């Protein structure tokens, strides 16, 4: 019986039935001995934003990799309910739960499913945003995970950037410059005088910008990891480095999470001769990498990276 390219699957995690799609390698491809699992970006189902995950699965399968996409608990077709801590609590609270690892059991169960269904001995975890941090938290110390593909990874908890002044310095500088340029705009003055301007945001940006100028003139940036960084991210990152995991961080140029990473994480490595991860930025792209002209560079950087991961593992086994 001929096996179909995609097979619907389900498995159970903490009493919840999860549903997904396992895509097998193309018949023309040289089959790899590594499987890829793509994790939910957040409250979006396993197709990803603008079906990005479906497109990635097709590209990876064409290179010989079996690929699993599934809905974690509380998303898409899968069972599970989100507990509302406070009545009317913002969606930000749900993202904080993801950033703290609520879906780690789901990812680890998916690893077992991938291995039992396909026979692969190694797995690469990946995803966008919430999927990226879940991949890191679940795979950092997992013996079967050899690589981590992290696109648009949040390095802080969403609760840590709830206020304007908590945003990265580069974002504050950009927004302050935009407000200053609006001083020459008659329509902007009309909004200001008719009380239709977002005064809270305006004040927050300008005050924070003033504080940045004072800080820049009085001190140098520490080489230690910024205290705003999620401690769970930091611990998992260190575990992944210690465990010899291959990691690639992919960021879109117009994603504020890129500015967080650049400001809060990268300075810690400026005094080292080598960085324990690969880093790719996609020019002009937004957080969800929605356009085809942004997705093509994504494929072109990830496919050789995956190939190098598989080659490196093969060399180690010899």
Co-location of 120 and 260 in the same domain: yes
In-domain check, residue 265:
yes
pLDDT number for residue 218: 33
Please state, in angstroms and rounded to a whole number, the distance separating the CA atoms of residues 155 and 168.
12
Co-location of 132 and 71 in the same domain: yes
pLDDT number for residue 30: 81
In-domain check, residue 11:
yes
Co-location of 137 and 121 in the same domain: yes
Length of the chain: 318
Residues of the chain with pLDDT under 50: 1-2, 164, 171-172, 175-176, 178-180, 189, 192, 195-223, 314-315, 317-318
Question: How many domains in the chain?
Answer: 2
Co-location of 115 and 41 in the same domain: yes
In-domain check, residue 223:
no
Please report which helix (H) or strand (E) contains residue 9, including its range.
strand 6-13
pLDDT number for residue 3: 56
In-domain check, residue 224:
no
Co-location of 171 and 94 in the same domain: no
Co-location of 234 and 307 in the same domain: yes
pLDDT number for residue 141: 97
Co-location of 81 and 200 in the same domain: no
Q: What are the angstrom distances between the C-alpha of 223 and each of 215, 226, 269?
A: 16, 8, 8
Co-location of 46 and 172 in the same domain: no
Co-location of 213 and 295 in the same domain: no
- CATH number of the domain at 139, please: 3.40.50.1820
Report the candidate in 9, 19, 16, 13 with the shortest Cα–Cα distance to residue 115: 9
Co-location of 82 and 132 in the same domain: yes
Domain range enclosing 109: 6-156+229-317
Tell me the whole-structure pTM to 2 decimals.
Answer: 0.79
Co-location of 23 and 82 in the same domain: yes
Task: Tell me how many degrees the CA angle 245-9-40 measures, rounded to the nearest 5.
Answer: 50
pLDDT number for residue 32: 86
């Amino acid at each position: 019986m001929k096996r179909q390219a995609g097979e619907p699957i389900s498995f159970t995690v903490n009493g919840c039935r999860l549903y997904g799609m396992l895509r097998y390698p193309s018949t023309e491809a040289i089959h790899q001995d590594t499987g890829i699992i793509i994790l939910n970006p957040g409250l979006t189902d396993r197709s990803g934003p603008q079906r990005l995950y479906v497109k990635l699965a097709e590209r990876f399968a064409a290179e010989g990799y079996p690929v699993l996409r599934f809905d974690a608990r509380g998303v898409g077709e899968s069972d599970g309910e989100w507990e509302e801590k406070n009545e009317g609590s913002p969606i930000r609270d749900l993202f904080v739960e993801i950033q703290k690892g609520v879906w780690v059991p789901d990812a680890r169960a998916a690893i077992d499913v991938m291995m039992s269904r396909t026979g692969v001995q190694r797995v690469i975890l990946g995803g966008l945003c919430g999927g990226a941090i879940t991949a890191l938290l679940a795979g950092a110390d997992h013996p079967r995970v050899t690589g981590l593909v992290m696109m648009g990874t949040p390095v802080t908890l969403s609760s840590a950037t709830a206020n304007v002044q908590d945003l990265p310095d580069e974002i504050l500088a950009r927004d302050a410059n935009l407000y200053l340029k609006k001083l020459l705009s008659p329509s902007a003055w009309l909004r200001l005088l008719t009380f239709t301007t977002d005064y809270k945001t305006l004040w927050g940006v300008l005050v924070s910008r003033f504080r940045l100028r004072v800080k820049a003139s009085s001190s140098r940036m520490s080489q230690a990891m910024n205290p705003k960084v999620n401690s769970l991210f930091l611990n998992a990152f260190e575990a992944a480095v210690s465990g010899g995991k291959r990691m690639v961080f992919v960021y879109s140029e117009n994603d504020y999470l890129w500015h967080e990473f650049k400001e809060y994480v990268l300075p810690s490595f400026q005094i080292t001769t080598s960085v324990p991860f690969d880093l790719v930025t996609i020019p002009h792209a937004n957080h969800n990498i929605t356009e085809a002209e942004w997705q093509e560079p994504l494929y072109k950087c990830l496919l050789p990276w995956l190939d190098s991961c598989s080659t490196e593992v093969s060399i180690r086994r010899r």
